[in-house]
Amino acid sequence: MEGLFFNVDTGFLEGIVRGYKSGTLTQSHYASLAQCETLEDFKTQLSATDYGNFLANEPSPLSTATIADKATQTLVDQFNFIRSNSVEPLSKFLDYITYGYMIDNVVLLITGTLHERDTHELLERCHPLGIFDTMPALCVATNVEELYQSVLVETPLAPYFRDCLSAADLDDMNIEIIRNTVYKAYLEDFYNYVSTIGSTTADVMHNILAFEADRRTINITINSFDTELTKEQRAKLFPAIGRLFPTGNNALAKADDIDQVRQVCENVSEYRSFFDNSASAQTNGDLGDFGVAAQLEDRFFRMEVHLNKLAFLQQFQYGVFYSYVKLKEQEIRNITWIAECIAQDARDRIHDFIPIF
Amino acid sequence: MLDMGYKTYTSFGLPTFLVIIVALYLLFTDSGEAFDVGRFLEETSPFVWGSLGIGLCIGLSVLGAGWGIFLTGASILGGGVRTPRISTKNLISIIFCEVVAIYGVIMGIVYSSKLQTVPEAQLYTRDNYFTGYALFFGGLTVGFCNLLCGLCVGVAGSTAALADAADPTLFVKVLVVEVFGSVLGLFGLISERKHLFYDITH
């Protein structure tokens, strides 16, 4: 039944976003990009794709940072086009997508201010999709309470900060705790919102958000080994959604090393393969714990790309918008990686990106 | 959740409540016999049934066709921004939806030829009752058939447009689905024409 009324408000935008998606780089594009000798060749190859002449006005020599910035700007332009043409409930859904970036920006500004960096420099490093009006005022941060009362209460992030107002001082670890608490509240809120806007959107987005929650849970667990984070504090950062909730979360809260994490993930069939090869690699002695974590991160990215590709198989749902943004981000990471490898002449690792289509 | 409560109350609770109040009123004021279905059927003019049938026939068919056209059209417009080549080929989906409205118009014209002026005195005969009911249910059937056919072709057409934009070889395959969908409207048309011929030869 969702197909009967979806096209009234969103049919045109769904067609637009599927058009954007058909312009994402394929394996053949990546192959020709990887064969470029210089960044100028790279720019020429990219101009034949949907990116077009996005680097046309840049002075040579090009830097990879410029390429990444301009590519992100194309994504932002596309997102803003869709956002300005949308109505409720799609516009609220698209706003939810931006909240994740807003959280990253807020944490970046707070951390930067603590380390006494220049305000303008920090504002330039913010992600463009997560910009909100009162952002510069965050640079006068002293403690969270004041931050909340003066700035955050008017932003859409206000309800997510309620749980962490009790954080004492703003130091590096507390800021990470704040970031993860706020992100947990955001994920749970997004998950609940998505359940109210229709069954197909809920089906697609629940899978994606559940995986995101599990990924964060596993990452928090692994990153908190050998730090001062207590197990109770760790357990409070796990989102209450996903396949690992509640038993997996409880087990991970008590875990002490990677083997226990692997055992917990064995119970979920989709995540079993994340730790598979790492066992054999450890017996080779090649990878230490750091190598396992890097491999895990790679596997997480692949799974995320896989789930986002699945969203395009269903019509008449909003998941395509979320998935397009995530896939485009992955593509930007890929071309930045290739550009870096070309610039630093490290061609042996140039194929270490995650292909999408 | 609160909003769902209000909707359920007004759409189910209120009409049920009103019906119960009216029924109990008739019961307790000893006028229960005022509720007489047989008298209602005998006293309503067959013209009411016939006209309702024709109206529903055209109305529901056009509703189905229009619904299908906007479903497909929105997707063609969206997909055509990046892939302009799809816009001409996918007009065939719009034509399939349009045909549904034409079926409704044809049946409407055929049915309306059965309506002739009859003076009041000779109106309530058995044959006239039959014609009235036949036109009503025939028109209702054709209307619903065409409504659902239009919806089906519309959704399939929307998917065909987006599939065509992604991969041109898919268009013909999804079109087969649409053709089967448009046959539904044809079923309604044919079965109601046979139904009407029964009326003539009866």
Which residues in A lie closer than 8 A to residue B80 (C-beta atoms)? 15
Distance from CA of B156 to the nearest CA of A (A): 10
pLDDT score, position A290? 65
Cα–Cα distance, A264 to A200 (Å, whole number): 30
**Helices H, strands E: what count in chain A?**
16, 0
Residue A118: its pLDDT value, please?
82
Q: Between residues 92 and 131 of chain B, which touch chain A (CB distance below 8 Å)?
A: none
Q: Which residues of B touch A52 (CB under 8 A)?
A: none
A354: left (phi over 0), alpha (psi -120 to 50) or beta: beta
The answer to whether A22 faces chain B, any CB pair under 8 Å, is yes
Find the helix or strand (DSSP H, E) in which A218 lies. helix A199-223
- Nearest chain B Cα distance for residue A10, angstroms: 8
Of A13-17, A205-209, A243-247, B14-18, where does mean pLDDT reach its minimum?
A243-247
Q: Judge: A11–B162 Cβ closer than 8 Å, yes or no.
A: no
CA distance B145 to B61: 8
What contacts A335, CB < 8 A, 6 or more positions away? A25, A33, A46, A67, A68, A71
Given a contact cutoff of 8 angstroms between Cβ atoms, the answer to whether B196 and B110 are in contact is yes
The DSSP line for chain B is -HHHHHHHIIIIIHHHHHHHHHHHHHHHTT-GGG--HHHHHHHS-HHHHHHHHHHHHHHHHHHHHHHHHHHHHHHHHHHHHH-TTHHHHTHHHHHHHHHHHHHHHHHHHHHHTT-----GGGTS-HHHHHHHHHHHHHHHHHHHHHHHHHHHHHHHHHHHHHHHHH-TTHHHHHHHHHHHHHHHHHHHHHHHHHHHHHHHH-
Distance (Å, whole) CA A265 – CA A278: 13
Arithmetic mean of pLDDT, A281-295: 60
Q: Which of A8, A11, A18 sits opposite B165 (nearest CB)?
A: A18
Residues of B in contact with A315 (CB under 8 A): 158-159, 162
Which residue among A4, A12, A15 sits closest to B151, beta carbon to beta carbon? A4
Residue A195 has pLDDT above 60, yes or no: yes
Complex-level ipTM: 0.85
Q: Do residue B70 and residue A7 have CB atoms under 8 angstroms apart?
A: yes
Number of CB atoms found within 10 A of residue B79's CB: 29
Contact assignment for A14 to B78 by CB distance below 8 Å: yes
A65 phi, psi to nearest 5 deg = -65, -40
| pLDDT value at A142 more than 70 | no
- CB atoms closer than 10 angstroms to residue B150: 33
Contacts of B81 in chain A (CB under 8 A): 15-16, 19
B94 touches B73 (CB < 8 A): yes
| Closest-approach residue (CA) in chain B for A195 | B1
Indicate yes or no: CB of A22 within 8 angstroms of CB of B166.
yes
How confident is residue B202, by pLDDT bands cut at 50, 70 and 90?
Answer: very low
Q: What is the pLDDT of residue A141?
A: 63
Chain A positions touching B155 (Cβ under 8 A) are 3-4
Residue in the structure block whose two tokens are 């409070």: A236
String of DSSP letters for A159-174: HHHGGGTT--S--HHH
pTM of the predicted structure, to 2 decimals? 0.90
Q: Measured between beta carbons, which residues in chain A are less than 8 angstroms from residue B78? A: 11-16, 18-19
Q: Are B153 and B71 in contact (CB under 8 A)?
A: no
Question: By the 8 A CB rule, do A282 and A292 touch?
Answer: yes
Tally of CA atoms within 13 A in the half-sphere of A59 that contains its CB: 0
Least confident of A4-18, A154-168, A244-258, B80-94: A154-168
pLDDT category, B20, cuts 50, 70, 90?
very high
What number is the average pLDDT over the span A158-179? 73
Inter-chain touch B162–A14, beta carbons under 8 Å = yes
- A285 pLDDT band, cuts 50/70/90, is very low
pLDDT over 60 at A282, yes or no: no
Residue A258 near residue A266, CB atoms below 8 Å: no
Q: Does residue A43 contact residue A57 with C-beta atoms inside 8 Å?
A: no
Q: For residues A313 and A307, give the distance between their C-alpha atoms in angstroms, rounded to a whole number.
A: 11
- Evaluate if residue A287 carries a pLDDT over 70: no
- Nearest neighbour of A18 by CB, restricted to B77, B79, B155: B79
DSSP A348: G
Please report, rounded to a whole number, the percentage of residues in chain A having pLDDT higher than 90: 41
Which of A120-129, A137-146, A269-278, B10-19 shows the lowest mean pLDDT across its residues? A137-146
Residue closest to A49 by CA, chosen among A24, A14, A73, A69: A24
The answer to whether B71 faces chain A, any CB pair under 8 Å, is yes
B147: confidence class by pLDDT, cuts 50, 70, 90 = very high
B117: left (phi over 0), alpha (psi -120 to 50) or beta: beta
- For position A164, what pLDDT does the model report? 67
Q: Please answer yes or no on whether A19 and B78 come within 8 Å at the CB atom.
A: yes
Q: Which residues does chain A have within 8 Å of residue B68's beta carbon, measured at their own beta carbons?
A: none
Q: Does A3 touch chain B (CB under 8 A)?
A: yes
CB A82 within 8 A of CB A16: yes
* Exposure class string for A203-240: b at 16+ Cβ within 10 A, else e: ebbbbbbbbbbbbbbbebbbebeeeebeeeebbebbbe
List C-alpha distances in Å: A37 to A32, A41, A336, A339, A345: 11, 7, 15, 10, 9
Nearest residue on chain A to B162, alpha-carbon basis: A15
Chain B residues touching A4 at Cβ < 8 A: 67, 71, 151, 155
CA distance B84 to chain A (A): 11
Question: How many other β-carbons are positioned within 10 Å of the β-carbon of residue B81?
Answer: 14
Distances in Å between the alpha carbon of A190 and those of A22, A94, A108, A330, B170? Answer: 27, 11, 22, 21, 35
The predicted pLDDT at position A300 comes to 92
Task: Provide CB contacts within 8 A for A177, sequence distance 6+.
Answer: A164, A167, A229, A233, A237
d(CA A252, CA A238): 9
> Which of the two residues, A293 and A207, has the higher pLDDT score?
A207
Cβ partners under 8 Å of residue A108, min gap 6:
A122, A125, A126
* CA–CA–CA angle A330, A335, A337 (5° rounding): 90
User: B111-135: per-residue pLDDT in tens?
Assistant: 999 888 888 888 888 888 989 999 9
pLDDT reading at B195 higher than 80: no
Cβ pairs A/B, distance under 8 A: 63
CA separation for the pair A228, B103 (Å, rounded):
75
Residue for token pair 């590709």: A309
pLDDT for residue A167: 54
Segment A157-166 shows an average pLDDT of: 76
A8 to chain B, minimum CA–CA distance in Å? 7
Q: What is the mean pLDDT of chain B?
A: 90
Inform me whether the pLDDT recorded for B100 exceeds 90. yes
Q: Does A8 contact B at CB distance below 8 Å?
A: yes
Q: What is the pLDDT of residues A61-104, one digit of tens each?
A: 888 899 999 999 999 999 999 999 999 889 999 999 999 999 99
| Residues B86/B170, Cβ–Cβ less than 8 Å | no
Give the 3-state secondary structure of A80-147: HHHHHCCCCCHHHHHHHHHHHHHHHHHHHHHHHHHCCCCHHHHHHCCCHHHCCCCHHHHHHCCCHHHH
A3: pLDDT confidence band, cut at 50, 70 and 90?
A: confident
Q: Which residues of A touch B73 (CB under 8 A)?
A: 11
- Give A-chain residues touching B152 at CB under 8 angstroms: none
Q: Which of residues 291-330 of A touch B (CB under 8 A)?
A: 315
Phi, psi (degrees; rounded to nearest 5) at B113: -70, -15
Q: Mutation test of the interface with chain B: which of A12, A24, A324, choosing the one with the most B Cβ atoms within 10 A? A: A12
Window from A60-74, B23-37, B184-198 with minimum mean pLDDT: B184-198
Q: Is the pLDDT of residue A280 over 70?
A: no
Map tokens 């393969």 to a residue.
Answer: A273
